Amino acid sequence: CTEAKQKKAEEVRKKQALEREKAAEARKKLAKSLHGLGDDAFSSFERFEQRVEESEAVAEAHAEVASDIDDVERRVRDLDRGASVEEELRALKDRLLSERAASQSTGA
């Protein structure tokens, strides 16, 4: 279970890094496009639109990462729950085997 948790956590970290890279690329693109613009009203509006688009992209990236983290946490809880069920089943089997062995030794 620990290996599966580590693998899922690594997947989340990779996705976070990719989303941060996307956001950085968006900022670079924005800076590059703003560099060549003049100061007229249209250019100001374009800069505003680009900032809004960048903010939306960053917000979308954050939402995706948060969703991935929630999914991983849910899977980890499911794995933990599955492990405890397996432990209970193993304990029941051991108890039944012990009881069976005890009854056979007293019944023989």
Q: Taking residues 22-37, report their average pLDDT.
A: 76
Sign of CA dihedral 59, 65, 68, 74: negative
| Per-residue model confidence (pLDDT) at position 42 | 66
Tell me the C-alpha distance between 1 and 44, whole Å.
54
pTM, two decimal places: 0.36
Which domain covers residue 71, as residue numbers? 2-107
Give residue 107's pLDDT: 66
The model's confidence at residue 108, banded by pLDDT at 50, 70 and 90, is low
Kindly report, residue by residue over 37-90, the tens digit of the pLDDT.
555 656 777 888 888 888 888 888 888 887 777 787 888 787 777 767 778 888
Cα–Cα distance, 25 to 58 (Å, whole number): 11
Looking at residue 6, its amino acid is Q
For residues 12 and 72, is the Cβ–Cβ distance under 8 A? yes
Total of domains in the chain: 1
